[in-house]
Amino acid sequence: MIRFATEANNPRMKQNLKKYWPHIAIGTGILALISAVVYYQFRQKEEVQMAFAPDSSIYSKKNYTNLVLDSAALATFYRLHLVADSIQKDVSEFYRKRAYQYAWFSENTLTNAALSYNSQREAYISDFADSSLYNAEIDSLLLEAKTVGKAFLTDPQRVQKLELLLTTSFFNYTNKAFTGTVKNPLDLEWFIPRKKKDYQALLDTLVSTKGSTIREPVNRYYTLLKDKLRIYRGIEKQGGWGSIDVPKKALKKEDSDSSLIEVKKTLVLMGDLKEFDSTAIFTDSLAMAVRRFQHRMGLAENGKIDANTATELNRPVSFRIRQIMLNMERLRWVPDEIEPNMLLVNIPEFKLHVFENSVQSWMCNVVVGKEATKTSIFKGNLSNVVLNPYWVVTNNIINNEMLPRLKQNPGYLARNNMEVVSGDKVLNPYSIKWNSYKKNIPYTIRQKPGKTNSLGKVKFLFPNNYSIYLHDTPSKNLFGETARAFSHGCIRVSEPERLALHLLKNTPAWDEKKLESVWATQKEKWITVRPSVPVYIVYFTAWVDYTGQLNFRNDLYGLDKTLSAEIFGEEKTIL
């Protein structure tokens, strides 16, 4: 073409060009058209190949199968099966990233992944008695596909229907089994952030392997509790345990009573008593079993069947199953991987747990907030240990408790080792017209360091919006109570010195001797904790402890009731 353009400048060539131009123009046009068609087909082929290349940022770098969906089929399926918008989004994105190739079928057969997933879905339906995930069409089509084998693939419409039913079912299942209630946890008084889980990647992992089960995106405490749920489901299918008519007088070792036969049956089912004997005698082995049961329930471990123990024994298996399910729901909100070094306070248990390298190293008793002044559920990062702390009194306490007393006699402050501060200046409480205030005084009231200070010798600060922290207390007697909800919301620790040494272990200068020397001065001292330590304040009324024992506690703040109404409906609310 370049030569032709150049030779066209020759006069003779111009004459020939003029003579033969119609034929040349037609030929050139045909060549151009052929070139355009070839180029278009090449680009189309290239674009198709690009379109059907799986998204390598998420999915494995391979073509899965020659079975490909028409993207228009998705819209039709959504309309016919009333698929929720959120599920539509997940399904469409999943297929787009795998270039609309089928997930549950290979060229020759239904994959093992389909059978593996369906078994897991059926197990969930059984474990949680949740019929909302049951789908008769899936069961029918899967049975047909397994029965007739390759012949099933000869009906493209049925193959496509099963393909899309399984995928939409998968996202419904994972949202329910691993994310939990769609209600905002903040409305359920749970302020620990939830991380969104990537179920598209989870499904890709499942269908790209040879049918192994899904690695559940939940923490190990959820898995442990699920194992116990299955045990209790088995007990329920066998009829559960009966109610126990215990006499008003507590039963103890060597007593004889007909109710003890039913007690023994119940404790055998629960795993606290190893062997059943049909006598009506309170034996040594029964006393040990009762103590194990009391320990798991957070009761006084006296080995006697008293009123509190009888109440917990008489909780039916259905009650315990629902309790387990409610706490599995909460565990879906907890991060999959919890920090290996952390502090965890379980409010209904009245315990602080200290974890090092993902293993509980020790725990101690705590006092938490009363029903009227609940301890909030949240996560913080402990950054400061304060020795000989001032206690800065909150506005609520000033308004509701102190102000009426100050109006009667400002000497109340001196008697309680307190002072009034404005900026950096300490004021004379008698110079203030307390009667002119109904609430929210424009001053700070604080209690000075000392033996009577409400925070004791040390407090542990982790910035939060709830004005909650851990601290020592002069009221040590309260730690001996089995139910320890006495505070205004902050958390009192029974072993504050041990906790301080644990948190400052990375700062060798702060050993026990150095701490004692500062405590002797009664002067406030702030120490930075490096690195800061995560603190989880949680609310679990059922959990599996580090020994593998299933524990239950009472619903201290009524949060089980609220969550039960959300999950099961009002008619099944826990009482």
Q: Which residues are catalytic?
A: 471, 490
Strand partners, 165: none
Rounded to whole angstroms, the Cα distance separating 461 from 387 reads 11
H helices of 250-299, in order, are 259-270, 284-297
Contact predicate 342/289, CB 8 Å: no
Q: Which of 197, 132, 192 is nearest to 567 (CA)?
A: 132
- Secondary structure string (H, E, C) spanning 24-58: HHHHHHHHHHHHHHHHHHHHHHHHHHHHCCCCCCC
Residue/partner pairs of 207-211 with CB below 8 Å, 24 or more apart:
207/64, 207/103, 207/104, 207/111, 207/113, 208/59, 208/60, 208/64, 209/113, 210/112, 210/113, 211/111, 211/112, 211/113, 211/114, 211/115, 211/116
H helices of 107-219, in order, are 112-128, 136-148, 156-174, 199-208
How much of the chain is in helix, strand and coil states, percent to nearest 5? 50, 15, 35
Tokens of 421: 């501060």
Rounded to whole angstroms, the Cα distance separating 9 from 17 reads 10
* Residue that the structure tokens 């402990």 belong to: 382
Contact predicate 540/228, CB 8 Å: no
Tokens of 332: 């879906």
Q: Which of 79, 73, 82 is nearest to 163 (CA)?
A: 73
Hey, how many other C-beta atoms are within 10 angstroms of the C-beta on 546? 10
Contacts of 235 (CB under 8 A, 6+ apart): 241, 269, 317
Q: Evaluate the CA torsion angle 149, 150, 156, 162 in order and state its sign.
A: positive
* Residue that the structure tokens 């419904």 belong to: 172
